Structure 1
Amino acid sequence: MSAMRKHLVRAALVFGAGASLALGPGEAFAAEGPAGAPTGHDLAVLSGVVGGKGTLDRLATTKFPGAAAVSAEAAARTAQADVTKPVGVYEPTAEFIAGKSAVPAALSYVAMPARTGDGSVATVWAQREAGTWSVFNVASGDVENRFASAAGKGYLVHEPQVNAWYSVEGGTVTVLDGSVTGVATGTRMTVDAYRAALRDRYADKLPGSAYDRSGAGGGYSKAVAAKPAAAEPESSTVSFVLGGAALALLGAGSVVAIRVRRN
């Protein structure tokens, strides 16, 4: 299994059979912080990995459509990664959506601003797997960095099925970009209200649902056709962007959402 495929399976939403909802009358969870937040040690290791020669060489040779041609020597001089601005990107957890956990989201990846060899704005994505950090993608644009700035003291949550972004601080969820879901940027809601919205979007994709029983989630070839989400302004190089219905069942009891890629 490729590194990217492993990431898609690991970091996407995985719904176990029966991160705010499905609670009985009068029940509520007090929101907790995200799971898997990088420690100081993690960030030190990440700095070495993202700022290391392997990543810089990768940035030097990364080409987005329409980029200007540059010599190998110039590309090597231009390629850079800013390890001083790590951005943790979290995604809603299945347990949260099912109402079994107060933890709204878990770490998906860490993003760091970068420049490719031709000077294009880029973002390096790094993931933690089996205790080891590695770079698994170079994306166009600085989406994560911009949304992190807008998130203020909250942590950044990405809902990949609809490419929506949120800031979560305490018990408040603020919409940073909800254009696909029809929720205005700046809208604030409680964590419980956000869980309810997630359940409205994804509850019918859970194991045991009609969607599951129909075999619609049996693999990539049977994935439900989705309405494309709006591309990021810088991201003219989006290779696929999937809407909320595009959930592919890769194994018993697991629903996987294919991540938005910008390169």
Structure 2
Amino acid sequence: MHERRTSGRWAAPRLSRLTTVLALGASALLSVAGPAHAAAPRDPRPADIPDYRAALDLVKSADVHNAVCRFLSVPVPQGDGVETPQPIPDKADPCEGMPAFTVKDPLALNEITPGFVAGTSLPIATEAVRLSHLVSALNAPVNGRNATVMLAPTEGGGWHLAAVREGDSDATYAGTATVGTLVFTEPQIRGWYRLKLTTVEPLNDQARQGLDGRSSVSLSDYQKLVKARYADKLPGSAYDTTGMSSGYGATKKTEDAPSSTPLLLGGSGAALALAGGAFALRRRRHTTA
């Protein structure tokens, strides 16, 4: 069974798209104040993250804190049901009754580029990998649950809230980057890798499978692997235009700024969508092509 087309982004068959939970906007969840811009002095620490001061201010804001509380106030749906409404608790203070928590500083979420996949970019770090989003985990679980705040770049500069997702694996892997290494994801398989000079090493089981079980490959050989997996599924390909695309590659303009589009929130094997004032369960199916 093929997944139906949900965007013009590229992906592998048989795999669910990472950005099922990368929302098309955040304002449907709450009235987040306008996107954070880089008016404040830039924090010099993460030199690879533009407008970092704005991103830091955003993840520490009351709006994002309340968004996380609203997300955590709705239990993760269980079972195989589809479209199971779960009303949001109507509280003036969405964090009422929850343990205190903070959101950690944002980290870079890097991903492979469409040009690298297509084979039109050189197998070098600056052309193979790009900054896609920022991720911030919580300082501690809240009632046994972890969550990750995801920020997307805003057109014209700055960042805006893109999603709140269940779990903290993205931030955990992103945080393993060290001086002289670059950590990135192959989102179509949820694979995480470390790039050291021109050597690619897997960080999780999905990545090890993506390297055919090898402990490391050259960046050039890794490019051959992803080209074989996805090059015929890029935007504009027959796979894409016939409606079978289910992952993501080139960033769509809809991610450039918040909108009134429902915010998709991730669960383990499920997604929570805010629609009509209620959370509804949307199961994410793995297709078998």
1:223 is aligned to 244
2:100 is aligned to 78
- In structure 2, C-alpha distance between the alignment counterparts of 1:58 and 1:243, rounded to whole Å: 28
Report the Cα offset of residue 218 of structure 1.
3.2
Report the Cα offset of residue 37 of structure 1.
3.5
Report the Cα offset of residue 129 of structure 1.
2.1
1:157 is aligned to 184
Change (3 A) 1:61 1:116: farther
Which of 121, 138, 152 is the matching residue for 1:101? 121
Report the Cα offset of residue 56 of structure 1.
0.6
Report the Cα offset of residue 99 of structure 1.
2.7
Residue 126 (structure 1) aligned with residue 148 (structure 2): no
Report the Cα offset of residue 13 of structure 1.
5.0
Report the Cα offset of residue 197 of structure 1.
0.4
Q: How does 1:106-117 map to 2 (within 5 A)?
A: 106-114=130-138
8 Å contact kept, 1:88–1:155: no
Change (3 A) 1:217 1:184: closer
CA deviation vs aligned residue, 1:191-245 (integer Å, no higher than 9, x gap): 1011000011012224675xx1xxx4336xx32699xxxxxxx963533667799
8 Å contact kept, 2:76–2:267: no
8 Å contact kept, 2:233–2:245: no
**Structure with greater contact order relative to length (CA < 8 Å, sep ≥ 6):** 2
Q: How does 1:117-196 map to 2 (within 5 A)?
A: 118=143, 120-130=145-155, 131-153=157-179, 154-179=181-206, 181=209, 183=211, 187-196=215-224
8 Å contact kept, 2:149–2:161: yes
- In structure 1, C-alpha distance between the alignment counterparts of 2:205 and 2:133, rounded to whole Å: 21
Q: TM-score, normalised by structure 1?
A: 0.61
Change (3 A) 1:224 1:91: closer
- In structure 2, C-alpha distance between the alignment counterparts of 1:148 and 1:200, rounded to whole Å: 26
Change (3 A) 1:185 1:82: farther
Which of 200, 205, 208 is the matching residue for 2:233? 205
CA deviation vs aligned residue, 1:119-166 (integer Å, no higher than 9, x gap): 621111011121120111111111023223444442221111111111
SS in 2 for 1:147: helix
SS in 2 for 1:203: helix
Residue ranges of structure 1 left out of the alignment (5+ in a row): 1-7, 15-35, 227-233, 247-263
SS in 2 for 1:198: helix
8 Å contact kept, 2:111–2:131: yes
Residue ranges of structure 2 left out of the alignment (5+ in a row): 1-5, 12-46, 79-88, 248-265, 272-282
- In structure 1, C-alpha distance between the alignment counterparts of 2:177 and 2:285, rounded to whole Å: 24
